[in-house]
């Protein structure tokens, strides 16, 4: 019998994904390791590689399909010696018995659990199709990004995906035909059709939830409801750090250090001094991490993602700076690999560049803590019994009380504060 190619789970939080496009067509030979398709997950657009060899016999889910469930058959692979007759038998195989009327899919979308996989549609795809009616363009996120980078106006592109949806292949075909007309200026976007407001309510438009936004909403809701947060705040004097940063940046063009690079280095060394803060909670034990892998929050057009800086305690400031710039750029372009955003034992969220003085971040489960970093600003302080002006940065540690007690959190913050205020010690 032909081998069923299933929709893969390309990230731990992925329950469904979008099949952006097929890179193989029916009848093409397939070898193990060949890239079959591009799949949009809740985190990034990734390539899906074949694990078996044979011939791509039948594509069950077309390119551009939205909301394809993990483990749903998306294609059939013919093994050596099999022909169209074997494919016909596989296609004629009876579908699984339908579930009772009350049974719904595990995702809670309301779609019957026995819905046929060959359609490549579910409630999410139907909702997106309905939401696209009117003047809105119906295009995949990947197609939009490629068109934006090439300066192509999607209004003149005909979609070949389900229900006229524009997919990446349509954009590439339009570019090849010389249709790369500059897209409309961002200042005048195509407005969504205003919804009719409820009585006494304001007018509004609705933006469909992306896969990433759905995951963010679910995980942060779970974090606030199930993780007992408490918060500790310290004020750090930044003047010596800022002076050292200026001196180091003037020495070489090979790096450009930011305050955030010093923060990452100080957190890594602080966790090395207080390893009990580098931990997470499980139902049977507290898990203490031997490696110091730090997740750093990066804002992207689709939502927040936390690329991971591995073994941060073993890296100098220049290496931290260059690696974070690379990770942040890949995060914004949706090109992070799973190993670049999965894992991490501690998180940092820095809103200082936006002028935020102080905030309290939500813990990223299963981690035990996250440090929220505010802006450095000049404030009056008392030095040696006299009033003075200093640059001060407020940092708040959000802690899972099941993992880290107040004394451990305070000990970590004391170590962190000492490193920030005496930055030369970070160079040793």
The pLDDT tens digits for 347-364 are 999 999 999 999 999 999
Burial class (CB in 10 A: 0-12, 13-18, 19+), 275: middle
- Predicted local distance difference test score (pLDDT) of residue 292: 97
Which residues are tagged catalytic? Answer: 401
At 139, the pLDDT band (50, 70, 90 cuts) reads: confident
Greater confidence (138 vs 106) lies with: 138
Burial class (CB in 10 A: 0-12, 13-18, 19+), 6: middle
Asked if domains 132-208 and 228-427 share a fold, the reply is no
Q: Are strands 3-6 and 73-78 parallel, antiparallel or unpaired?
A: antiparallel
At the topology level, CATH places domain 3-92+115-124 in: OB fold (Dihydrolipoamide Acetyltransferase, E2P) (2.40.50)
pLDDT at 244 > cutoff 50: yes
- Predicted local distance difference test score (pLDDT) of residue 84: 67
- Predicted local distance difference test score (pLDDT) of residue 130: 38
Q: CA–CA separation, 313 vs 272, rounded Å?
A: 7
At the topology level, CATH places domain 228-427 in: Chloramphenicol Acetyltransferase (3.30.559)
pLDDT at 125 > cutoff 60: no
Name the most confidently modeled range: 67-71, 199-203, 416-420.
416-420
Query: Taking all residues of the chain, what is their mean pLDDT, rounded to a whole number?
Result: 81
pLDDT at 370 > cutoff 80: yes
pLDDT at 45 > cutoff 80: no
- Predicted local distance difference test score (pLDDT) of residue 343: 87
Greater confidence (177 vs 387) lies with: 387
At the topology level, CATH places domain 132-208 in: Dihydrolipoamide Transferase (4.10.320)
Domain ranges of the chain: 3-92+115-124, 132-208, 228-427
Span of 137-141, 165-169, 219-223 with lowest mean pLDDT = 137-141
- Predicted local distance difference test score (pLDDT) of residue 160: 76
């Amino acid at each position: 019998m032909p081998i069923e190619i299933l929709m893969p789970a390309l990230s731990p939080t992925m329950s469904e994904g979008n099949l952006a496009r097929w890179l193989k067509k029916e009848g093409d030979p397939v070898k193990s390791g060949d890239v079959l398709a591009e799949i949009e997950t809740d985190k990034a657009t990734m390539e899906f590689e074949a694990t078996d060899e044979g011939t791509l016999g039948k594509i069950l889910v077309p390119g551009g399909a939205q909301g394809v469930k993990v483990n749903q058959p998306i294609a059939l692979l013919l093994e050596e010696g099999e022909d169209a007759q074997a494919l016909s038998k596989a296609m004629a195989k009876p579908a699984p018995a339908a579930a009772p009327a009350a049974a719904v899919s595990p995702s809670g979308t309301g779609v019957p659990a026995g819905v046929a996989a060959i359609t490549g549609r579910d409630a999410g795809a139907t909702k997106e199709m309905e939401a696209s009616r009117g003047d809105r363009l119906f295009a995949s996120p990947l197609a939009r990004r490629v068109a934006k980078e090439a300066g192509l106006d999607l209004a003149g592109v005909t979609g070949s995906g389900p229900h006229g949806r524009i997919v990446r292949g349509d954009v590439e075909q339009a570019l090849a035909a010389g249709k790369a007309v500059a897209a409309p200026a961002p200042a005048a976007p195509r407005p969504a059709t205003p919804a009719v407001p409820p009585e006494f309510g304001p007018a509004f438009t609705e933006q469909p939830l992306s896969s990433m936004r759905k995951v963010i909403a679910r995980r942060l809701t779970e974090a606030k409801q199930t993780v007992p947060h408490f918060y500790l705040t310290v004020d750090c004097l930044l003047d010596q750090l800022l002076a050292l940063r200026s001196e180091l940046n003037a020495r070489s063009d090979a790096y450009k250090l930011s305050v955030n690079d010093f923060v990452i280095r100080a957190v890594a060394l602080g966790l090395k001094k207080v390893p009990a803060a580098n931990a997470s909670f499980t139902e049977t034990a507290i898990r203490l991490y031997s490696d110091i892998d730090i997740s750093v929050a990066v804002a992207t057009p689709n939502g927040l993602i936390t690329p991971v800086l591995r073994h941060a305690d073993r890296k100098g400031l220049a290496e931290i700076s260059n690696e974070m710039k690379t990770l942040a750029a890949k995060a914004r372009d949706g090109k992070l690999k799973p190993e670049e955003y999965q894992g991490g034992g501690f998180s940092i969220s820095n809103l200082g560049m936006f002028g935020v003085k102080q905030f309290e971040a939500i813990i990223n489960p299963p981690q035990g803590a996250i440090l929220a970093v505010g802006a450095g600003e000049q404030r009056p302080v008392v030095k040696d019994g006299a009033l003075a002006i200093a640059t001060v940065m407020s940092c708040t540690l959000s802690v899972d009380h099941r993992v880290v007690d107040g004394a451990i959190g305070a000990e970590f913050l004391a170590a962190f504060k000492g490193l920030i205020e005496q930055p030369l010690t970070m160079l040793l």
